[in-house]
Structure 1
Amino acid sequence: MNLQTLPGLFISHGSPMLAINPEQIGPALERLSFNLPRPQAIIVMSAHWESNALEVNTGIRPETWHDFRGFPPQLYQMRYPAPGEPELAEKILGMLSEAGLHAYANNTRPNDHGVWMPLLHMYPEAEIPVIGISLPMNMNAHDIYRIGQTLAPLREQQILLIGSGSITHNLRELDRTGQAATMPEWASIFRNYVVSKLTHSDYEAVLDWPNLPYLQRNHPTLEHFAPLFFSMGTGTRFSLVHSSFSMGSLGMDIYRFD
């Protein structure tokens, strides 16, 4: 089999409602999947799997987890029945261990919406094996970056690596009126600063997250930003795939790392 190298991606997965109303991000994800070789498997670090220690999903067929409340009933009927791939999961555990990153197997973890929401638009048939890895909150930015570096060689085996979070994520600041909301300056300055640093290969400035402009306004908690550190570790060449905002200040960017 002639395997092709896939990129690493950072995907802003947005609100669960994007499964019903995909706005601009859904078509962008669909186009992206058409332009990539079809993955042999997909590895996702989701903002919604925070853990004390690094974990890897070794389940055979993880359930679809609707890890949200207060949304329309049709959203809870959706399923993304992608299989797992325990053999690849064990390989990932081995790679992490060899790099000094101790990780644990978890064969009961369902796929949260940070995993299945973007994949619903990219690969709606749900036939490609998906393996989730956790976001260990006891690790610093450089450690999470190193997880991406450790798994980066899997890209050469036509395996897609995804960090699923959000470039901005302050739910209290969202405009839920349904009108065409104006993007606030604090969100655009933050987003533009990060993109500028990545464009100029200044990864260290992004990993130095406490000094990013308007950090607390954009990320009162870090879990939706941290998957970017993982994605950055997967490749040294950055490119911007898509940029938009939802509900005013919710950044919906997609970044590619080759």
Structure 2
Amino acid sequence: MTKTTIPATFTEPKQPAAEPRTITYPLKTGGTITVTCPGWCTADHTSDVATGLVEPGDLSHDGDVVALEYQQEGRDHSVLQARLVQWPFATDDSRPYVELVPEGSTGLGIALTSAVEVDNEIRKVQAHLRLLMDLSDKLAEAQAADHAADHRGDLTPWASLTRTDLASLPLPYLIRVFGITVVETEDIGRKAVLALYGEPGAMELRVLPDVPQVLRESQTRRALIDWHTARGGAA
């Protein structure tokens, strides 16, 4: 069984279905049982074959694990582990289901027996992600306010800003700190959608008039980061 980690803003490509495996297992009570794994089963049944099954009900099919992983103090942790599972000889319900383990270290799983139940859990995660996005915006605003308070009256407030600050603090705040005047013009002097001129306190940002707002903001950050890097600024 393998584990698939899904990084942010990345969609895991669908893998081609594996060829079904037909495996014969010895039974400890005598005899054997031959079972064909479904195409999604990636479990390594080597130990099952080597030691044998007490009864057919001990056999499970397990798919690849998907999980959100992170590191803390050099150790790997995971949340939202999920995989397809099936106990083909279960007496109560032998259908495939999704096993969801919200917090990996506990090993405690929830059996989601239908796509409707899986979708409900997805909606919970999506709601949580929206709250995290809001929290990210609040963090940027809080850090900008903290920077402004620490540099009130400072004639060079931009000097303490790091590359990370330029990538994350609210853009209106950065424009104010650097003393940037935005000018829309067809002549920006470079082969680009915008160009930054001058030095902090009296900078001019020349922008092509028809540049979409999202592109304008991303390229303004890029111009500030390039200015910062060219002067050997801190990360």
Whose RCO is larger (CA < 8 A, sep 6+)?
A: 1
Report the TM-score range of the alignment, normalised by the length of the smaller protein: under 0.3
Which structure's residues are more often strand, by fraction? 2
Query: TM-score, normalization: structure 1?
Result: 0.17
Which structure is larger by alpha-carbon Rg, 1 or 2? 2
